[in-house]
Structure 1
């Protein structure tokens, strides 16, 4: 396991990461998803001289009922199909969660139905309230994301209410 900031990734490592993410997610991984994973810390799992697992922690601003919180948002968690079920996901998430707990008010992520169980077993909680995005025109509900948004409380995070993320291109959550 190795942790590195986006600025310190070599061009070859960036290419390996994109190849890994494309292999893990297929057509569901868009250029905007790639952009969302950049600018923070990358936890890399390596085997045989190549990157086979990844999780990124990027800083975002989230509002809980209007109160701003610094969030360690977990992006692009993936394990190469040839290395799944070997403990790589747990290893990269252990470090990503350590970073969140040490540096942020809370952690958050968006999980597919298939991956949700992994996060729940690790202590992540599905947000019990509603979700929204703070757009240039104001707060807009994101009901399609209500069931897929998970938080990792670091301190006393209130349950329920409106959890709003900052605006970005592509998927908001």
Structure 2
């Protein structure tokens, strides 16, 4: 079963369960900033019976590209419990999130872990080939370490995948 709801619709008792799922799925490499980035948007929760086995969220961000500020649905916190992987739960999460992106944003975007690149590409997400940057406190700063890990899902815009892409500032990992 899938449940799609805004952060405000999540029961307070569910938040620590979600956080634990993400901590375990990311092998302890899911920071407080990563958690914060996953809140304030729309969540897709996948259940196997009464057990929460998958999660993902779409939060609004502004990406700068081609002289425009693009209202972007940014995908965060996609995870499936280890013992429930390879059963289609990740695809179920992403189908719900892609629906949110297509209905509410001009562009979808995400930063993919290397082991998830084929998964996102297989769903039609396009790898960003151009340089990435962040509009930080000191102006535009390159984020070379993120080059090649960014993917977009065009909705109402057709971006130049070889052009520069700039994200808005946030604490922790900016992408």
SS in 2 for 1:26: coil
Length, aligned pairs only: 173
Residue 172 of structure 2 corresponds to 170
SS in 1 for 2:157: coil
Q: Distance in 1 between matches of 2:40 and 2:5?
A: 11
Q: Does 1:29 align with 2:35?
A: no
Instruction: Flag structure 2 segments of 5+ consecutive residues without an equivalent.
Output: none
Q: Distance in 2 between matches of 1:48 and 1:163?
A: 41
Q: Distance in 2 between matches of 1:3 and 1:151?
A: 21
Please list, as runs of the form range in 1=range in 2, the aligned pairs for 1:13-92 lying within 5 A after superposition: 13-92=14-93
Q: Deviations over 1:151-170 (max 9, x none)?
A: 00112322221100000000
| Aligned residues: CA RMSD | 0.9
Residue 156 of structure 1 corresponds to 157
Q: Distance in 2 between matches of 1:52 and 1:163?
A: 33
Q: Distance in 2 between matches of 1:169 and 1:27?
A: 19
Q: Deviations over 1:100-142 (max 9, x none)?
A: 0111010000001100110000000111211000012111010
Structure 1 residue 15: deviation in Å?
A: 1.2
Normalised to the residue count of structure 2, the TM-score between the two structures is 0.96
SS in 2 for 1:101: helix
Normalised to the residue count of structure 1, the TM-score between the two structures is 0.97
Note if contact 1:16-1:50 (Cα within 8 Å) is conserved in structure 2: no
